[in-house]
Amino acid sequence: MIVRNLLRRRTRSALTVLGVALGVAAIVALTAVGAGMASGFGDLFGSSDADLTLSQADAYDLFLSSVDESIGEEVRRLPQVASVAGIIYSGARLEAVPFFLVFGYEPGAAAVSHYKMTEGRPLARDREIIIGRGAATNLAKQVGDSLPLYENAFRIVGIYETGEAFEEAGGVITLADAQAIFQKPRQVSLFQVRLRDPSQAERVRERIEARHPDVLVSLGSGAGERKNAYEAVEALALGIGLVAAVVGGLGMMNAIMMSVFERTREIGVLRALGWRRRAILGQILGESLALSAAGGALGMLGGVGLVRLLALSPGVSSIVVGEFSARLFLQAGLIALVLGLVAGFVPAWWAARLQPLEALRMEGGVGGGSAGPGSGRMGGRLAVPWHRLPHTARDLARRRSRTGLTVGGIAIGVAVVVALGAITEGFVDQFAALMGEGGADLALMQANIADMSLSTIDESVGRRIAAIPEVEAVAGMVLAFVSTPDVPLLLVYGLEPNEFAVDAFVLVEGRPMRGRGEALLGRPAAGSLGKGVGDLVRISGRPFRVVGLFETGVGYQDAGTVIDLREAQALFEKPRQVSYYQVRLADPARADAVRGQIAARFPEVAVSRSADLIESSEDIKITRAIVGVLSSIAVIVGGIGVMNTVLMSVFERTREIGVLRALGWRRRRIVGQVLAESLLLGAIGGAVGIVGGVLAVLALGLTPGFGGILAGSFRPAVFAQGAAVALGLGALGALYPAWRATGFRPAEALRYE
């Protein structure tokens, strides 16, 4: 009977299954990619048989880790140590691949032995590169070809396989070359240590950590203790997938509710024949679970297919590596079944409460006098004069529960789009404000980097720019990200105390920073750390005296601390280097001319107006692309919910449409009526979603530690994007119902029951 009831309305059942499937597919695909990133980056060096791994203690992730080579030399002299291998681990942006992993190894080192050559030969000297099988496919390269990295040409001498997708999507160059192109002289990202007796690992670990407290020593070959940074990506992916699933679940509740309403008389007959309430409840819940099970199974297949499809794209295959597990599929299946239970409970509970005589008196399915869950009449009691509303609104008001569920689905999707868009634009505005403070007209970062946090510029560039006649002042900044026990992400700004850039950090308590050993703290950061003026704060293992608190109103600044530039360079292994330069001109009107001059003379840097620097970065381009993908998911899943609602409305008013057609209404007028109803649903859902998105961002802004960074910027474009998604949902949802409505013939429609 369950299957027969679902097949009565094949279109509605198919749309409902599709809506659930898309939500489950989003969960499977996004969670698999997040899990793949977490395990892939966390176990990136797992193929090596190292006993210990040394990296910078409080670096937020390995990309930002820097360890001096002298530490490796010291560890190499320990009697328990058999070998020490330094490794550079970073990323580059190529024309075909926005994020290309690059590893720097000493040729012939034991740590590189897990790279199994399938073509060509191993790495032997500088200006050579071996690339993974995946990279060779993505880049359409082979042995003997040339590969440009940061204005340097490397000859491909071999192609390797390791069994690790991230390694096979990257390339290996010599450690000396990596130190040169990533500007890490006598530094490495990490050391891998092999012991003569692996049972001594814990003892050697304790000895190294006691000698070097600013170094994190992990057991094994990977950096598993840093997985938290990547697992946050996995959690975010699961959250976004759940949003899509909830929207699909609301559509399913809508469909089940309409199915119950259409069969009100049938339910009355069954109750009159002796069916108990629990039998009715079980019947409706069974239908809901059947729909969710079918949607869940289809969604799992779709999620796997989507990840496989993404992996074929050269632009993202280096980071889109899906990790599928029994736990993931069990989790997706349970979510689908829970959605089925929740979506079916309300209509099942309503159906089970119907009295037989009351149900038999009700008109089901079509016609204007019908009643049901959420309609204007419940049990024959008319409460609100809906007839006074405009015609389009009156049609939606007939089924308030159905309309409410559809509006809720639209609102959730729009809220996610608005919240992510606002946070992205907030980050852009905050960074632009940071780079433009103090009257800076231009900002510089390293060119062709895959991630802004990796930017490194030699101070010689700053000195030469300062010599340009139009330049009034140049200020260098080291920007670093560290983790502390109290704050998961603390931003550290290294600035010269006497340069104009420090004026951006407006003091509200204490005094300015005068030199080394002193620090300024943002008031929010001070609150999170429990520190005040006069207290000591430890950064990368070194103590700094807090001499002042600042508050700028820019979360990106207030969530950090300012220390002396030279100390920052020493702490974060950037000798005579900075992350960014700010340039103030004598005549700001000459900004474009000076920018062109700098770009021509210094191809190794990217120069922009201060407000535009981040807009052109790869980070923001990728982030906006992700928001665009999420908007598409919201449009598709939400559009199915709207389509279901409007389609049911069309079916219910089949006779009414027949009367209108008989009275001379043309098909385009019917289409206009259906489209107006659908767009009204989208407009209401969009308004609710925009408000919800704003409230969500404001709530995130209160999060300890991350709140300041997550502060949103509510530009008109953010609201326009949310409104476009909402109206797009309305337009998409009206297509099929409008086509069905225009296909009704007057005589046939008047006979419809």
CB 97 within 8 A of CB 139: yes
Splitting the chain (753 residues) into consecutive groups of 10 residues, what average pLDDT does each group show?
Answer: 62 74 80 72 65 81 81 92 88 77 86 87 92 88 90 91 82 92 86 90 90 83 52 63 68 68 70 77 81 87 84 65 81 84 78 67 45 44 51 66 75 84 81 74 84 84 93 91 74 90 89 90 87 89 90 81 92 87 91 91 86 70 70 68 71 71 78 83 89 87 64 84 84 78 65 53
- Give the count of alpha carbons within 13 A of 662, CB side only: 12
The reply to whether 154 and 25 lie within a common domain is no
The reply to whether 627 and 752 lie within a common domain is yes
In a domain, 215, yes or no: no
End position of a domain, from candidates 609, 638, 657: 609
Q: If DSSP codes are grouped into helix, strand and coil, which group holds residue 336?
A: helix
Number of domains composing the chain: 4
Task: Kindly give the residue spans of alpha helices, DSSP state H, lying in 182-226.
Answer: 201-211
The reply to whether 247 and 276 lie within a common domain is yes
The reply to whether 415 and 459 lie within a common domain is no
Quick one: pLDDT at residue 751?
56
Task: Kindly give the residue spans of alpha helices, DSSP state H, lying in 653-666.
Answer: 654-662
Q: Which residue has the tokens 């019947």?
A: 283
β partners of residue 473: 584
In a domain, 341, yes or no: yes
**How far apart (Å, rounded) are the C-alpha atoms in residues 101 and 546?**
38
In a domain, 724, yes or no: yes
The reply to whether 459 and 556 lie within a common domain is yes
Query: Within 10 A of 382 (CB to CB), how many other CB atoms are there?
Result: 12
In a domain, 92, yes or no: yes
The reply to whether 124 and 258 lie within a common domain is no
Quick one: which of 674, 675, 676, 689 has its CA closest to 723? 689
Quick one: pLDDT at residue 369?
39
End position of a domain, from candidates 558, 591, 609: 609
Q: If DSSP codes are grouped into helix, strand and coil, which group holds residue 274?
A: coil
The reply to whether 293 and 418 lie within a common domain is no
The reply to whether 578 and 659 lie within a common domain is no
In a domain, 632, yes or no: yes
The reply to whether 416 and 544 lie within a common domain is no
The reply to whether 68 and 150 lie within a common domain is yes
The reply to whether 557 and 651 lie within a common domain is no
Q: Which two structure tokens, joined as six digits, stand for 110? A: 């034991």
Quick one: pLDDT at residue 235?
65
In a domain, 214, yes or no: no
The reply to whether 59 and 188 lie within a common domain is yes
Residues 6+ away with beta carbon under 8 Å from 128:
154, 155, 156, 157, 173, 174
Average pLDDT, the chain: 79
In a domain, 203, yes or no: no
CB 147 within 8 A of CB 129: yes
Phi, psi of 480 (to 5 degrees): -135, 160
In a domain, 158, yes or no: yes
- Residue 459 CB burial class (10 angstroms; 0-12, 13-18, ≥19): middle
- The alpha carbon of residue 594 and the mean position of all alpha carbons in its chain are separated, in whole angstroms, by 36
Q: Domain range holding 660?
A: 392-437+616-753
